Chains A and B, each alone.
Chain A
Amino acid sequence: MKTAHVHALYVHGKSPVHDLEAHVKVAAMLLFVFAVVATPREAFWAFAVDAVLLAGAVRAARIPVRFLFGRLLVLIPFVLFAFLLPFLGGGARTEVLGLSLSIEGLWGAWTILAKATLGVTASIVMAATTEVPDILLGLDRLRVPRLITAIAGFMIRYLDVVLGEMHRMRVAMLSRGYDPRWIWQGRALATSAGSLFIRSYERGERVHQAMVARGYQGHMPVFNSGSAPVGSWARAMTVPSVAWVVTIVSLLT
């Protein structure tokens, strides 16, 4: 189980951001993203300041730029939608390079591109510098219900097991010369999904029995419950607090 405490977005390394406590980072990330979302779309300078702040955080966390751009690809479907907006949008229109574009649509495209890119980058910085158990512990400290973090913990721990099982079923199908890829071949996929469900469910039952046999009473023991020192809060909160100041200034002007 090589990935028990490391996930797809994690970048192994040592940096000031890696050292910060998880709940501090999650809180800072949330505050920053909401500051970005609340920024009025006309305030180009505010988005520029946010981008510079975020670039500073990326640098401090020593996240490779190539890795960051690879992860930004999740946005592609919405980028496509953003490019359609100037053509679909209503209201006044303007001429750009001989194309008639909706002004409202152009604003919409800009808003989505700017805010979504900043938001995703912020969550990548958090995820890239925090291991799974720390994120879960951090959510616990932020008063997320225990049941949610416990279920999420099991989900992440067994994700690779379930994915491995799915992969083995697919290999078994391929090695027998069947490669379903169209909707009318969906039955083969769905029946293997059915057995995947039964295997996952029965594994869940076995895991629970094994845990009860080892003294499980409904929640996991917590080993380090120390809270974060004031210094960590101060360092982590610089980024979101500057972002909020920028947002408030841009809202007032």
Chain B
Amino acid sequence: MFLVTDYNVRALLAILTIFGRSLQLHVHMYPLRVLFHIGRYISMLGSAIARPEKNIMYYRETIRQMYDIGIGSLPIVFLISIFIGAVAALQFAFQLDGTLVPIYYIGYIVRDFAIIEASPTITCLVLAGKVGSNLASEIGGMRQKEHIDAMEIMGVNTAAYLIAPKLVAALVVIPMLVALSAFISIYGGYLAVVPTGWLSDPEYALGVRSFFNPHNFRLMFVKAVTFSFILTSVSCYQGYYVKSGSIELGKASTNAVVFSNVLILLADYFIAVLLT
């Protein structure tokens, strides 16, 4: 059996780093350029997972990032979630109207739609725009203003100090935001259909409580963790290797959002195939 020991983790990291570096081919053909970026991305992650120079500094940075990502994203998450739930409830109410399907199913459908798909995916797509572009700009700006060079000369492992706290913060906070989003979506659905008379309060509550499968909840967190890792690491990668000039910084910020979104959708598909 494979034991998770310090030695094994180090060996795995070493292998990943060597594999990553071996893919860093300085060539101009498009497919090989993709390999180059994959290699450099893996290599960056290998460097980011290192022992901190000073735990307290990393802890402080992680808390700061948690605040920025978590509290800073609350209004947008609240806004999109309430509308996701409201629109979903109204659409399903309209579709089910006049059919033999019991009307309380609206609550059940809104709940599962929010938990399985809407909250993890749409929240993370929006966060890729808000948090991802912000991370790419922040790290890219530091690269361009020589802050990263200054830290490296001091002896700081910049990949670890700048990226690891952001990754940890995102992996903790974004799943919380997604869970909150699911709750708000369900409440948004309630606001859209109960006060307007589509169904009564007990009917909606019955629907929300019906056919609950805990696996869906696990699926939501698997998606949330995977998507938050993608959006944070891809955005940090774009910022960390930005070239000089404001146009390049803009490009990095755009690429962070575009690549994060594409990879989130791809991951969403594969998770759906593998886990449902």
Tell me, yes or no, whether A binds B.
Answer: no
